[in-house]
Amino acid sequence: MNELKLKQNLKKITIFFVIISFLIFAFGAVASYSLDQVFKDTMYQQINAQAIQYKNSINKKIQSGLQTLYALNSLISFSEYIQPEVFENALYESNNKLVFFRMVYFDTNGDGIRVTTNGDIEKNVKPEDMNENIQKAIKEAWTGETIISDIYYDEGIEKNVIAYVVPVKKDDKVTGVVAASQSIDTFGKTLDNQGILSDNGIVMLVDKNGEVLTSSTNLLNKNIEDVKDLKSIDDKTKDKIISGISNLKSSNIPLKINGSLCYAIVEPVDIKGWSLVIIDSATGINRSMYQNINITRVTSIISLALAIICIFSGYRQIKKSNDNLLKLAYYDRLTGAYNMEKFNMLLDEMWDKQDKNSAVVAIDIKQFKFVNEIFGEDMANKLLYQIKTIIDKNIHKEDEFFCRENADLFFIFMREAEQQKIVDRVNVLISQIKSIVLSRHQQYPISVCCGMAFTSDFIGEKQQFMTRVMFALNRAKLSGKSNNIKFYDLELHKTEQMQNYIESHMQEALNSGEFKLFLQPKFKLQDGSLYGAEALVRWKTNDDKMIFPDQFIPLFEENGFCTKLDLYMVEKVCKQLRRWIDKGYKPINISVNQSKLLFYKENYVERLCNITRKYNISPSLITLEILEGLALNNVDELNNKIRKLKQKGFKISMDDFGSGYSSLNTLGNIDIDELKLDKSFLMIASNTNGHRQRLIMEQIIVLAKKMNMYTVAEGVETKENEQMIKELGCDFGQGYYYSRPISAKEFGEKYMKERKKHE
């Protein structure tokens, strides 16, 4: 009985342990499968994200190339005919951004001009002289479409190339085509950035037939089946890859290569039937994760408890690792908001849905650098976090989102189609941001600028739309107003077009003499006689259109063209002085504005002297007007440059003193000859409540005289203005009371004929 009972108990125990063993292995198998799925999903997320980045990079290169040709298109559309020099300059400018090695333009007669990066210019080129692929693309472009050619072999550079062809339109009529050739190797450079891939991973750009166009390992002129060990995989898996390529279908395909588990991703590029193929081993993508899973499997066999702990620990670690990867990829570390990458992804989704009842708002903190300087980096970071929190609380509609792009710039996607509603919402944001207190002991007003554009007002690519948002933001900044909101509308569109025209025509205008010399006289207050004049620039196009200084001067200061224009104006002044001297007129002193960029050029003094020597003009007749901002960074360097100029005979004047944060300390540290008081001084001092301003103005004049400086009052508009500055002891007056700026010819007729030397 006892033996039977023992046998029964033994049987029960055996069955129990068999069941337990089965459960251990079953649980281990389930856990192993689950971990495999998590591992596989994580791998696919990582490699898919990389594929999207490669795809976006290739598309951006294509779009950047087309945008360059669109800009050239605009330049040609404004001209009656294409000039070789202009076309050559356009090539060099485009070559700074893209590797275009050849450009060609054909007019309606089929006559073409071709420019290469080595400077060669070929005229009378015919379409039939081109490769048959580009001939076909050019023929299609005459219908008004933008065309990207098939890849073809260029014997000149012995490489496979692709061509972009853009129609040139004038009054909605195609008047020509512009084509540019680019080596397919430029896309290979993008693919060389391996990202998360291992050393054995490969990224290939292929056509619909599986032909490798370019790759991260330069496997050109190969078929997808012949690359590395792909020819050794089974036909079923190979067919899946080929099917994804030929059908332009995104595919995630596991496969075995030489016994190792690998993953293949097929991602269509949406251009010319191309696809990206990314292949890497599972261990290569994330070796540490793969090892952890194997350890978990072994441990689960030893003990159910240990298996459960290891499984859940591994799962949590994987999930945490995945969450960390997502945070690094899509979140701003400082504020926790989305970054620009995530914002663009979400905006792409909205764009694909053709959702036009929305807007994008850009918010920028004014003078954010001063917050860093005054309160320190920690307080500036706290300010950014507070702004993120405020935006987060005010983004309450479904599908709305925002990001911090960099520094103090935020973008917000709002589901609003009415201007007033979005203005009301943005004003609430501005009000809450203004209420932020940085320090209890030191008040600092927080103000912002906002630019926005409605998706309903735009048809085109998302990148162009975001450019318009930034354009509206820049206009809000330039307005100088606090908490200003600017919409991208017809007015801003015209402004953008004008800026594009200015930038594409500025060099041509300089070469053709469209920048005209205007002069505004300066008079001695003591006896009312003519003392000199200020040189001012006006842009009058060859078709008699006037472009005003406030339209082009800020842009020239931003893009650096002001350095050329300033020297050009010095030469115009010297040329005019020479004409007057040759006619027997007694010359006057003329002041010319000089930008900061030009003033600190290494050969600046030498170039000025070369101009005066060219026209045999004494430098003493030239006064160089500088702004106070030149002294903010390096007073010693500024004084050294001023000293060299004065040794040559030039006079130095500080312009617009009092227009900004003028410093008497700065004034005392630099050795200038003349101080020009900004017209704002006179405007305020002339008011009934301007007593204090008048006292300040008087003391500045007294101080200037003690430092042997002449003083010039700008903005004299009335007899009362003149009388006041006389009483204050100012030396010279300038303004509309005497004369508006007039052409050099009119100035000579009005003032210089009376200055005959014999008289």
Dihedral of the CA atoms 301, 305, 306, 312 (nearest 10)?
110
Rg (CA), the chain: 36
How confident is the model over 49-99, as pLDDT tens digits? Answer: 777 877 887 888 788 777 877 777 776 766 655 565 666 666 566 555 556
What is the three-class DSSP state of 646? helix
Q: Which of the two residues, 672 and 373, has the higher pLDDT score?
A: 672
How confident is the model over 416-438, as pLDDT tens digits? Answer: 888 888 889 999 999 999 888 87
Are 177 and 166 in contact by the 8 Å Cβ rule? The answer is yes
Q: What average pLDDT does this structure show over 8-25?
A: 62
Confidence class for position 503, pLDDT limits 50, 70, 90:
confident
Report d(CA 276, CA 292) in Å as an integer: 30
Task: Please list, in sequence order, all residues whose beta carbon lies within 8 angstroms of the beta carbon of residue 20, skipping any fewer than 6 positions away.
Answer: 304
What is the CATH code for 340-487? 3.30.70.270
User: Where in the chain are the domains?
Assistant: 79-183, 340-487, 517-531+557-755
Record the pTM: 0.45
pLDDT of residue 696: 87
Residue with tokens 């976006």: 56
How confident is the model over 191-213, as pLDDT tens digits? Answer: 776 565 666 677 888 888 778 87
Report d(CA 479, CA 354) in Å as an integer: 33
How confident is the model over 543-575, as pLDDT tens digits? Answer: 888 888 888 888 888 888 988 999 999 999 999
How confident is the model over 602-647, as pLDDT tens digits? Answer: 889 999 999 999 999 999 999 999 987 776 667 888 888 899 999 9
Report d(CA 549, CA 539) in Å as an integer: 8
Q: Which of the two residues, 664 and 140, has the higher pLDDT score?
A: 140
Structure tokens at 608: 């000025």
Are 137 and 44 in contact by the 8 Å Cβ rule? The answer is no
Q: Helix 377-394 to helix 419-434 angle, to the nearest 10 degrees?
A: 140
Q: Label residue 96 exposed, middle or buried (CB < 10 Å: 0-12, 13-18, 19+).
A: exposed
Amino acid at 187: F
Q: Which of the two residues, 487 and 44, has the higher pLDDT score?
A: 487
What is the CATH code for 517-531+557-755? 3.20.20.450
Beta strands in 530-685 (DSSP E): 530-540, 546-547, 589-593, 622-627, 651-657, 674-677
The verdict on domain 79-183 having CATH code 3.40.190.290 is no
Q: Matching CATH topology for 79-183 and 517-531+557-755?
A: no
